[in-house]
Amino acid sequence: MLTEDGKHLYVSYDEYHNLIEKLAIRVHQSGWQFDTILCLARGGMRPGDILSRIFDKPLA
């Protein structure tokens, strides 16, 4: 949900995980092959962890 000032986007925990799962589906359907997942701090660690578990690939 976007705040009234339009500067912040708030996402529920369930929506957050749903979006990560949708990303995993898109990556899988693309046929893109990879051997490692690189996730960056400041917001990327949790999605990286989830994608690492879904695709059974190590984190870098």
Per-residue pLDDT averaged across 4-19, rounded?
Answer: 88
Predicted confidence band at 53 (pLDDT cuts at 50, 70, 90)?
very high
pTM for this prediction: 0.80
C-alpha–C-alpha distance, residues 35 and 29, integer Å = 16
Given a cut of 90, whether residue 59 has pLDDT beyond it is yes
Of residues 6 and 38, which shows the higher confidence score?
A: 38
What number of other Cβ atoms are within 10 A of residue 51's Cβ?
Answer: 20
pLDDT of residue 9: 85
Segments forming the whole domain that contains residue 32? 13-55
DSSP H helices in 1-60:
13-30, 45-55
Start-to-end Cα distance in the chain: 32
Residue 3 inside a domain? The answer is: no
Q: How many domains does the chain have?
A: 1
Per-residue pLDDT averaged across 39-60, rounded?
Answer: 94
Q: What is the DSSP letter of 60?
A: -
Q: What is the DSSP letter of 4?
A: T
Residue 31 inside a domain? The answer is: yes
Residue 20 inside a domain? The answer is: yes
The token pair at 36 is: 């490692």
